[in-house]
Structure 1
Amino acid sequence: MATELFGVPASCLRMPHVEKGMAVGLFGGSFNPPHAGHALVAETALRRLRLDQLWWIVTPGNPLKDRSALAPLSERIALSRECSKDPRIKVTAFEAAHKIRYTADTIELVLACNRGVNFVWLMGADSLRDFHRWERWRKIVRSVPIAVFDRPGATLSFLSSKMAKVFDQARIDEDDAPLLARLSPPAWTFVHGPRSSLSSTQLRETVRSAVL
């Protein structure tokens, strides 16, 4: 593998080291830019799901979003590192090295390379609303447990989203969230708790307005 790609150090292009039996959260996104709201989700996940690690996966780009305003990958990684202070949070961009575009492919690769590790996918409630638009979304749900974290304006998404309806029987009580990573999929839960009103879109608009 090249020493770096897109200006990203080789260390960020490899999956973080894990041991069998660990519970590991997968927190993917473009993080354009990362902010305190992302850090809040990560910290809440570590605590509520009792995770040993959390992989903060900075993606090359979201196929469902406009890439014209996407900051360089190296910049988003550097800012993510500044946001994530807990040593259990590992910022990584291994998807870029494998030229992965879709979450389904990311999860398939992660599971194949880390046998015996208990992974759980993390997402905000705002993403749950459009989850059925994700490539092979049903396969994702059947491949790894999912924890959905409350976001302002999206609290009721667990009632209205297509995923929530199709996999209603797979939902576990929030009180059992610490068990989630070690359950066989499909299994998911909705985690209530502290919420941040920050959004990457709003932050980009603020910066654009200031420049103009």
Structure 2
Amino acid sequence: MRIGLYGGSFNPAHAGHLHVSRTALRRLRLDRVWWLVSPGNPLKDPGQLAPLHERIAQARAIATDPRIDVTGFEAAIGSRYTVDLLRWLRRRRPNLRFVWIMGADSLGSFHRWRHFEAIATLMPIAVIDRPGHTMTPLSARAAHRLAAARVRESDAATLPFREPPAWVFLHGPRSELSSTALRAERARSASRAC
């Protein structure tokens, strides 16, 4: 089985997450995508974060594709770091072929993630184009460090079978939706209602 791992705060989950997942399913020829709803991103303000159970419930409502499973693995293992989660999954599911999925916006800050280079050696990475971040793969610090491991986009379907480090940047239709923008709109609506 080829499994895409799509981690994030999902604060809130939205149709853009579904779009990224469907792009990965199609272009990487994955069997499933697991949404890994994080208990908290160490690089983001925890005060902006809705409770985990609410984010998981909302993600399940958005994840209408039967090939997508919503999980809370990070909280279950007591970690907020991707590297810990990926090591845990590799130990428990050694027969699955995992691919880490991230948006191009995340690649821009990937070098700030705990042990980002170790993450790249644990499993292949698929970077999905995002509005305003199409040039990120060319300029991101992590992209420079991992340049020799970049796979041609035409070979994207081979990614689950490649030994890491290996990564691909997938262009295509992009979703303008973002959790940050949705939270800002909610805040504006709440202030107008007062």
When the two structures are superposed, what TM-score results if normalisation uses the length of structure 2?
Answer: 0.97
Residue by residue, what CA displacement relative to the aligned partner does 1:147-181 show, whole Å, maximum 9, x if unpaired? 00000110001100111111111101111111101
Give the aligned partner of residue 31 of structure 1.
Answer: 10
Residue 93 (1) aligns with residue 104 (2)? no
Please say if 1:187 is aligned against 2:166: yes
Partner-residue secondary structure (3-state), 2:35: strand
Q: 2:179 aligns with which of 200, 208, 212?
A: 200
Maintained 8 Å contact 2:124/2:162: yes
1:11-26 map, 5 Å: 22-26=1-5
Shift of 1:90: 0.6
Amino acid at match of 1:82: A
Q: What RMSD in Å do the two structures reach over aligned CA positions?
A: 0.7
SS state of the match for residue 59, structure 2? helix
Name the residue aligned to 1:111: 90
Q: Unaligned stretches of 5+ in structure 1?
A: 1-21
Q: Partner of 1:164: helix, strand, or coil? A: helix
Uncovered stretches (5+) of structure 2, i.e. residues with no partner: none
Distance apart, 1:76 and its partner CA: 0.6
Match of 2:118 among 139, 155, 160: 139
Contact 2:73 2:85 in 1 (8 A): no
In 1, the alpha carbon distance for the partners of 2:13 and 2:65 equals 15
Give the number of equivalent residue pairs. 191
Contact 2:3–2:34 at 8 Å: present in 1 too?
yes
Q: Distance in 1 between matches of 2:91 and 2:21?
A: 24
Contact 2:13 2:58 in 1 (8 A): yes
Q: What SS does structure 1 have at the residue aligned with 2:47?
A: coil
Give the alignment partner of residue 157 of structure 2, picking from 156, 178, 191. 178
Other structure's SS at 2:6 match: strand
Deviation at 1:138, TM superposition (A): 0.5
- What is the CA distance between 1:66 and its match in structure 2? 0.2
Distance in 2, matches of 1:124 and 1:206, equals: 21
Instruction: Assess if the C-alpha contact under 8 Å between 2:77 and 2:85 holds in 1.
Output: no
CA positional deviation for 1:141:
0.6
Hey, what does 1:157 align to over in structure 2? 136
Is the helix fraction higher in 1 or 2?
2
Identity %: 54
Greater Cα offset, 183-192 or 80-89: 80-89
Q: Which runs of 4+ in 1 moved over 4 A?
A: none
